[in-house]
Amino acid sequence: MPSAAILEQKKKAVEELIQNVSVASSGVIVNYSKTNVEDDTKLRANCRKAGVEYSVVKNTMLRLVFNATNYSDLNERLNGMTAFAYSKDDVIAPAKVLCEFAKSHENFEIKGGFFDGKVVSIDEIKELASIPSKEVLIAKMLGSMNGPIQSLACVLQAVIDKQNEQQA
């Protein structure tokens, strides 16, 4: 039987995870079995770079967390070795980082996740991962907004140049 100190430590870990998941914008659970240490280290570094929290969590602890945060539909996917990644700021980052890693590691399997307060399927997670980053979307939007203005400036400059030619 576990000691009272160990039980208290586990309760604190579950409470902390509940708080983090409650404020997370998205999260993904994966089966990381047969992932070697070198690859896992690279994955963790990529997660840190993207602002994603990634950790291995016992299924029983995740069940408690998901029950407390209205993501209990994910409980049926909690089997085998499970790792959990979430982000408080970037909605797409967990899906993007983990799906990219899964492409090159056949034993790394996406199990499910949540997004925008609801449980999503594996296909929806892969769809989220295919969305360009926020910076790319902003650059595209600014480029499309800049195009018409730039065209107007070229037309006005041509009119000015033509007037200058006629005066000379």
Task: State whether 101 and 138 are in the same domain.
Answer: no
Residue 57 belongs to a domain with what CATH number? Answer: 3.30.70.1730
Task: State whether 96 and 120 are in the same domain.
Answer: yes
Task: State whether 78 and 58 are in the same domain.
Answer: yes
Q: Which of 51-68 are b and which e, b meaning 16 or more Cβ less than 10 Å from the residue's Cβ?
A: ebbbeebeeebbebbbeb
- Is 0.85 surpassed by the pTM of this model? no
Task: State whether 117 and 139 are in the same domain.
Answer: no
More confident residue, 91 or 134: 91
Q: What's the structural domain count of the chain? A: 2
Does residue 1 register a pLDDT over 70? no
Task: State whether 69 and 136 are in the same domain.
Answer: no
**Where in the sequence is the domain holding 28, given as residue range(s)?**
4-131
Task: State whether 40 and 107 are in the same domain.
Answer: yes
Task: State whether 93 and 150 are in the same domain.
Answer: no
* β-sheet with 26-31: strand ranges across: 53-56, 82-87, 26-31, 109-115, 118-120
Task: State whether 58 and 92 are in the same domain.
Answer: yes
Task: State whether 110 and 148 are in the same domain.
Answer: no
Per DSSP, the three-state class of 52 is coil
Q: What is the pLDDT of residues 92-119, one digit of tens each?
A: 899 999 999 999 888 899 999 998 889 9
Q: Residue 26's pLDDT is what?
A: 92
Q: What is the pLDDT of residues 136-162, one digit of tens each?
A: 888 888 888 888 888 888 888 888 888
Q: Amino acid letter at 150?
A: Q
Task: State whether 101 and 144 are in the same domain.
Answer: no
Beta strands 109-115 and 82-87, pairing class: unpaired
Task: State whether 118 and 65 are in the same domain.
Answer: yes
Task: State whether 121 and 136 are in the same domain.
Answer: no
